[in-house]
Amino acid sequence: MTEPVLVAVEAGVQRITLNRPDKLNSFTSAMHALLRPAFERARSDDAIRVVLLTGAGRGFCAGQDLSERDIRAGGPAPDLGATLEKLYNPLITAMRELPKPIVCAVNGVAAGAGASLALACDIVLAARSASFLQAFAKIALVPDAGSTYVLPRRVGMARAMGLALLADKLPADDAERWGLIWKCCADDRLMAEADALCARLAEAPTRTLGLIKRALDASLGNTLEQQLTLERESQRAVGGSPDYREGVAAFLEKRTPKFTGR
């Protein structure tokens, strides 16, 4: 049987491919059972220095597989809060707490929790034909898996409201222009650009990148005072690292640094 999530590690990059192309990689519980452990492995395995997340086929991820839900009239009301609590929320938390960069290559439509998944990554590249869709309101749901947190912070409240209330597709070009994602690129360049970015990040000072990610995330809720303290503590931690020594030595010796990630 084909696995609904493929995971491979090579040259410091853990590639995770959502793999239910016929259903636009919409989320099933079987996918959840593979996806979160992949991020947990990325956390504990020193050989992994960057994660690349993408989708197989023409879509990135169409959100929750709606055929998994029992909506028969008169049937028991599904507790969708429970699915968030057990599956989506821990997944998004694991991604944000991973002290390593996550690159997302959005190869096609990212809808519902699929859009949230993409936006939970650190650097989001999208094919020009891709789009982002807050599909939730179309089926009378509230945006979840972190969307209501990320959207206003990235694009401002006016655009976040429009996206969430109207549930119209936002083309990748506009997503880049609005600051929702890092970059949009030609469809046939997407994977090459994502691979190049990951190769670069796999040679970067991983521990430092983890602390940069943590500091930027924390800044959204911190006062300046708290943020200055966090910067001080982060700098204190990396100041004793082998990669800092290597970075400065390489600068002084006018050569390219060889970071180990420690």
User: Nearest CA to 36 among 94, 84, 117?
Assistant: 94
Question: What is the end-to-end Cα distance of the chain in Å, rounded?
Answer: 39
- The CA-CA-CA angle for residues 194, 113, 42, to 5°, reads 50
107 binds ligand T3D (CB under 6 A): no
Q: 55 - beta bridge partners?
A: 18
57 binds ligand T3D (CB under 6 A): no
126 binds ligand T3D (CB under 6 A): no
Q: Nearer Cβ to ligand T3D, position 135 or 151?
A: 135
DSSP codes joined into one string, 99-135: SS-EEEEE-SEEETHHHHHHHTSSEEEEETT-EEE-G
CB of 87 to ligand T3D, least distance (A): 7
Element (H, E) at 228: helix 224-239
What number of H helices and E strands is found in the chain?
A: 11, 10
14 binds ligand T3D (CB under 6 A): no
**What's the one-letter identity of residue 151?**
L
117 binds ligand T3D (CB under 6 A): no
CB of 84 to ligand T3D, least distance (A): 6
Which residue in the set 13, 56, 62, 172 belongs to the binding site for ligand T3D (CB under 6 A)?
Answer: 62
21 binds ligand T3D (CB under 6 A): no
Q: How many residues bind ligand T3D (CB under 6 A)?
A: 23
Q: Nearer Cβ to ligand T3D, position 69 or 189?
A: 69
User: Nearest CA to 98 among 60, 53, 143, 64?
Assistant: 53
17 binds ligand T3D (CB under 6 A): no
24 binds ligand T3D (CB under 6 A): yes
Residue 253 neighbours by CB distance under 10 Å: 9
64 binds ligand T3D (CB under 6 A): yes
Stretch that binds ligand T3D, among 91-99, 138-146, 199-207, 209-217 (CB under 6 A): 138-146
Interacting residues toward ligand T3D by CB under 6 A: 23-24, 26, 62-67, 69, 80, 83, 109, 111-113, 133, 135-136, 138-139, 141, 144
